[in-house]
Copies of this chain bind each other. A is one copy, B any other.
Amino acid sequence: MAFFFNISNSSGVPFYRQIVNQVVYGVANGVLKPGERLPTVRQLAVDLQVNLNTIVKAYNELEIRGVVNTQQGTGTFIAENQEPVDPVEQEKGLERLCANFLNEVAALGVKTEKVFPILKKIEKERTSHKGIHA
């Protein structure tokens, strides 16, 4: 199963962050396996139609976070030893994310109950694709 990147220029999320998130997401869900090679920075820049340095920036953050290993002249690979996410940090981040989300939902004038079916629908679409698509 191939791994597809896709970026959207209308979401307000920076390109490089979309790339970072998709890789982290792919690793977390087993779509990207340790040792697997990512596209070259040049190739991905062409595919996604963005500047080379934008890809470099994304891969760089992944390297710092320990998600990938880079060997100059060889390529970029999913790291063998994925740092387990600190469960305390994860929990805190998750709470904050959820609270923010509910604030914004409320700010749209939408009752919280209405989001559950939407979230499930999106999730279902994504898992049925078994990858990340445009």
- List chain A positions with a Cβ less than 8 A from chain B: 9-11, 13-14, 18, 20-22, 24-25, 27-29, 61, 64-65, 69, 71-72, 84-85, 90, 93-112, 114-116, 118-119, 122-123, 126
Q: Is the Cβ of B65 less than 8 Å from the Cβ of A104?
A: no
Bound CA span A110–B99, Å: 16
With A64-B64, A94-B115: A103-B28 Cβ-Cβ less than 8 Å: no
Bound CA span A10–B80, Å: 10
Q: Is the Cβ of A101 less than 8 Å from the Cβ of B103?
A: no
Measured CB to CB, the nearest residue on chain B to A22 is: B103
Q: Is the Cβ of B11 less than 8 Å from the Cβ of A107?
A: no
Q: Can you report 5 A-B residue pairs in the complex whose CB atoms are below 8 A from each other?
A: A25-B107, A28-B107, A93-B108, A94-B118, A95-B122
Q: Is the Cβ of A90 less than 8 Å from the Cβ of B108?
A: yes
Interface centre among A28, A106, A107 (most CB of B within 10 A): A107
Chain B residues contacting A114 (CB-CB under 8 Å) are 94
Q: Is the Cβ of B69 less than 8 Å from the Cβ of A106?
A: no
